[in-house]
Every structure is written in structure tokens, then in C-alpha cells.
Structure 1
Amino acid sequence: MSSDPWGRVDETGTVYVRTADGEQVVGSWQAGSPEEALAYFERKYEGLVVEIGLLEKRVKTTDLSSKDAMTAIGHLREQVDAHHAVGDLAALRVRLDKLVELVDARREERRAQRAKQSDEARHAKEALVAEAEELAGSDQWRAAGERLRALVDTWKGLPRLDRKSDDELWHRFSHARSAFSKRRKQHFAHLDAQREEARKTKERLVAEAEGLSKSTDWGATAARYRDLMSEWKAAGRAQREHEEDLWNRFRGAQDVFFAARGSVFAERDAEQTENLKLKEELAGEAEKLLPITDLKAARAAFRTLNERWEAIGHVPRDTRPKIEGRMHTVERALQEAEEAEWRRTNPEARARAEGLTGQLQAAVDKLKGQIEQARAQGNNARAQKLERELEGRQALLDQALKGLQEFGG
């Protein structure tokens, strides 16, 4: 016969557990020694302890529903009441009773939270309605229109209220949007009339510009082109389908004139060619900043180069895209490096990484302690099982530590 503080095995192989109500039969064991019988049912008890612990954690740290939690508690209570384990079953019942209290408290907390969310949703929708009614009188057609669309998206993301309240607020919201749309439609109808008048004016300006394109009176014609440009800007925009064609003809006529004038001004060409050489040298200096290893120094150096660039002046038109593209490439690399630096130093992401690492380290330390305890107790099977679990947790910890190093941690 064998026994421990919570159970015993009699000479027939029957296993008992000690409770406040006396001994209860746990089961019968014929396959080995009494010590093995007790160890087997003690492991069953340890399994219940683990399951209860996991459920406690889920209730405290996740959004497990009250219904699912109570079902799980009932299942565990049935196992405890069945007396198929050796250990302090009364302590497990106490933990389950406290867990029921916690679930009830969480249920009330969630009920209060839902009521709070409903109240917050009402206030939010009232605020949306108030803003929409204010925007209904706005003349900022693009900004107000975009804002109203954003308000609709926000509305859709809010919980529904009771039908009467929700319908009343939506009616006011929809009416404000309709009022704005009606005013905007009237505005653009008036704008269409203005654009037709602008088209007629620009047709006249194009005709004059095309007539001047062959002139060799460089000073007077250039001055007239400047006046025509002022008149063009003052005329406003024509309809979209006409504006681009009219502009191309208008600029085309000017280009013909200024190209002819440019061929006369050799000195200017020479100056622009020299400017190109200087900018090519600056572009080469900028490209030496790549790849970027010291963001602060690279940013300061590029700022200085850019200031020198702006001071140089124009380059020949056909070379402009290529030479400016080289500087833009370096500028984009700086922007990408700045974005990468921001992501690397993002305090929220770092805090999440540190939190995960801390949790995993705690789990690894706990498992190591449990392994040592199991070995001390001579429970090699449990120690081996825990060691396999430790390997998985250690791998996760190593990965988390590597990710944390990316933040300079």
C-alpha cells in the first residue's frame, strides 16, 4: 500500500483521494506499483491545474465570451467532481468558484461597456450631423465634398443606434449632404458658362500668338507675348476638352518665336551649357552620398549641394529631365532612408517588441524552473516533455530578440 498527503493505494490496487468529505475512490490500478498509480493520478491533477490556469488567463486577457467561459468552467468542474485525480481538489473548486465570480464581473463590465459605446456612438453621430449641416453652406467645393465623403465613411464605421434615433440623425445627415450637392451643382453650372466665355477669349489669344510666331522684332514681340500670357491667365479656364488643345497651340506659337530668338542669343546658349557642366559636377557629388550610411550627414550635405544647384541657373531644355533626374534619385534615397529611420525608431513598435520579448523570456525562465523541479522529483518524463516545449519557446525568444536588435535594442 502507498500513500501521499492527498491520496493512497490499498492492497487491492484501488486508488483513493482525500477530501473534506472523506476518501473518494479515484480508480483502480493493476498495471504497476502503487507509486506509479499515485504518480499517474497526480499527473491528472496537474493537468487539471494547467487547464484551470489557462482558462484563468483566457478570461483575464482575451475577449472570451461569458457563455464560452461558463461552458469551459462547467466542463472543468465536472472533471474535478468526478474525483479521477489525486491532489487538492477543494483548492481547484475554490479557483473555479472565483473564476465564476470573475466571469460574472466581466459580463457586467462588458454590458456597461456596450452601453458606453452606444452613448459614444450617439454623440459621434450627432457631431457628424452638426459638421455636415455646417458644411452644407460651404463654398469650398472640393474640400467640403471630400470631407462629407469622409464623414459618410466614418458614419458607416459607427455602431447602429435604436432605429428611431438612427433614422432621425441619418435624415438630417442626408439632407445636409443633398443641400450641399444642390448648391455645388448650381455653382458648376455657372462655372460652365464662364468657361465657355474663357474659350472664346483664348481662341482670340491663340490667333494673335500664332500671328506673332514668325516675328523678328525680339523685344516688342517678347513683351507682347508676356501681355498675352497675362490675358490668358486672367481669362480663366475653358472646358477641359478645349483647354489642353488651346494651351498647346498658344505655347507652341510662343515656342516657335522664342526658339528663333534663342538661336540669335549664342551667349545665352553658352551660359546654359556652362550651367549644365556645373550641375553635372554637383549631381556627381550628390551621387557619391549613395548608399546612405550616415543619414544626418547626408541630409546636410545634400541641402548644401541643392542650394548651390539652385544658384546656378537654367540649363538647356533638352538636358533638363536627365540632369534633374539624377538629383531626384538621390533625394528619393534620402526620403526612403528617413522613412526607414522613423520606422526603426518608432516607439510604439519598439514597445510591442520589448513586451513580446519580456513575455517570452518569462515563459522560458518558468519552463527552466519547472524542468529543474521535475528532475529533482525524479519525473524524467515530465522533464523531457517540458524540454521539448522549452525548445519551441527558446526559438521564439531568439527570433524576438533578433527583431528587437533592429530597433537598436
Structure 2
Amino acid sequence: MLTGKNVILGVSGGIAAYKASALTSKLVQAGANVTVMMTESATQFVSPLTFQALSRNPVYTDTFDEKIPEQISHIDVADWADLIVLAPATANLVGKLANGIADDMLTTTLLASEAPVYVAPAMNVHMYAHPAVQANLKRLESFGYKFIEPGEGYLACGYVGKGRLEEPLTIVRVLEEQESKEQPLVGKHVLITAGPTQESVDPVRFFTNHSSGKMGYAIARQAADLGASVTLVSGPVSLDTPPGVKRIDVVSAEDMYEAVLNEMESADVIIKAAAVADYRPKETYSSKMKKQEGPLTLQFERTKDILKEVGKRRREGQFIVGFAAETDEPVRYGQEKMERKRLDAIVVNDISAEGAGFKGDTNVVTYLNRNGKQEAYPLLTKDDVARRLLLSIATDLKGE
């Protein structure tokens, strides 16, 4: 699946750079067009001439060495690339990328490119485990970078542990597997809501619900994996942002209403998985309410119906999906909600079923669409539910 792919191989300065020469050869044998970029430190381990001979292409080492006068090399090559592989990726390179530092040809090109980036770290076992390095790797993951984890074994420094660059053949197999994955949502912008909302009573109290956000976050994660550009509007949850996902944090139902309406125009698919409060306190106190004798009575008012408003404002071609968490006759109530709010599809969740519900890692749902399709999914992890759901949506988008 790498045949005809334009691949930048970024080589940074570690002893594992010698393996990058074998990786270059394997990529060329797999049919890829390979351009190698080296940091200055990398040239201390392997000569650029080695990579030039193996790739049959010029090797880039200097931002200011413009090989073709009418082109700006780091921009031109960045646009040329279908994917970028960093092998080995040292702690220094990882740190620069995580913090947007572009001080050589490789890092400058990486910031200018929109191609998928695969990072294959290689370093001393203690360096790899250092909190700063782990934080940088996690930050790169949040940018959408993908990782080819280092292996364990004897390292050049004499230690035994995790930090050894994965073998070139394994790296090529991972790339082939990733590049051959089905991505039916490429070119689509998917807008997802997730989590609960919090409706304030006073500075220390609020009303909320049991939603954990796990289902919405699973949908966002899987949508990005299937090739979509993803915007996630999230209520207050304790979850990490899925890799490659744009996250907008909100608190109240009103906040979520405004955020969704601001983002919906550019969305091709809108999936409202959030558990938005139906009511909020009519009066909010600026100071803490003091405890009093006897019962407390609060008056509530309806919040804005986000899904109904999205249905009203939808533009032609948008595909709108709602969620319905029910305990009685879920399919019937789901169908009624789909018609009432002008949805294309709805995901009905019987929260009384074993393994379903807000805070668990599994779910049991039924997918309904306006054409009469009814798909009942068995008990699955929320990620598996999300993937099946998105593949059903992708099929509906094609009119199949």
C-alpha cells in the first residue's frame, strides 16, 4: 500500500540512525518515493551520501541550501509528502516538535506539512521514561501524530529496556497497515457533542447528570481514525482529548448551544451525544446560599433545545444524528424523537440494559435512520459501538 506514496524520512541524531539506512531501502522496495531529511547531529552518525544512494533522491540537511532556486525547499517538500516518518526520533526532536520549535530543515518542514506523521522514538531507557519526554509524546499524540513504539532489549548505552528503534521491516509493515485502513470519512467535517452540562445555583452548587462523556469521546476518536476532521464540543469531563480532535470546552447548556451553532455551518455530520440539561435554575445566586431550617424550593426553567434548533437551521446536505437515552420502549421513543426533531438518524440507548449506561466502558444501542433502517448492536465497548455507528453513517451518506 506504499506504492507511489511520497514519504519524507526524518532522521535525527542517535546511534539508531544506522537503522534508518535499512529503513530507506525497505521503503523504496515497498514502492515508496523517499526523500530523506537529516538533522545536523544525524550526519555525525551516517553520511547523507548513504541515504542519497539508497533513496535515489537528494538528501536535505540545511534549510538554507535551496537545491532548486525557484522553490522554497521546506515548503515544496512539505506539500509533496503523503506521509512523514521520523526514525529515529530522539528526545531532542520530540521536544522541539511538541513545542513548535523549527530551527532546522526537518523541524521547519514538519511544521509546514499537513501530511500524517509517524514517530518512531529511540533513546536511552531512562530518557524515554522521563516525565518531560512522556509529556511531549502525549502532546504530539494530541496533535494527531501516530507512534511506532520502541522495542525492548539491549541498548547502545549498555542498558537493557525500552528505547530501541523498532526494526525497519516492522516499521514498513505498520505503515502499510495504517495506510491501507478504510477511511470512509476523509474530507468530512464531523461535529460531536459529549458529556454533561452543569447548571449553576450559586458559586458552589450546580445541577448536572451522570454522563461521563465516554460515548461522545469514543465517537470523536473513531471519527478521526476514519479520516474525518473532528470538532468536539465537550461538557465538563475528566477525559483526555482524542488525538487529532479539536476540542471546545463548555459548561452550561447555554454554552453548548452557542458553541454548536457557531460550529455547525461547516459540519457535514453533526452527532449530538451530549446529555444536556433539560432544565436550569430560574434564578442563580451570586453569593453562596446559606443553609436554612426546613425544605428548600427552587424554580426551574427549560433550557434551549440544541438538537431541535440544529434541525431547524440545518443546511442542505448535512446529516444530523441524535441520541436518546431511554428506559421504556426505547425504539418507539427514539423514532418519535427522530421525526419530531428532523433528524436523519438516531442512536437509541436503553440505559436500563445490563452493560449499558453512562459511566461504563460498554454500551448497548440501536441505530435508526429515516429510511427505516434498524440496526441493533450487541453489547460492545464504546469504541466498537462508535466505529459501527460511524460506518453506518458513512453508508447512509453515500445513499446505500
What TM-score results when the alignment is normalised by the length of structure 1?
0.19
Q: Which has the higher contact order (CA 8 A, sep 6+)?
A: 2
Instruction: Choose between structure 1 and 2: higher strand proportion.
Output: 2
What TM-score results when the alignment is normalised by the length of structure 2?
0.20
- For the pair shown, which has the larger CA radius of gyration, 1 or 2? 1
Instruction: Choose between structure 1 and 2: higher helix proportion.
Output: 1
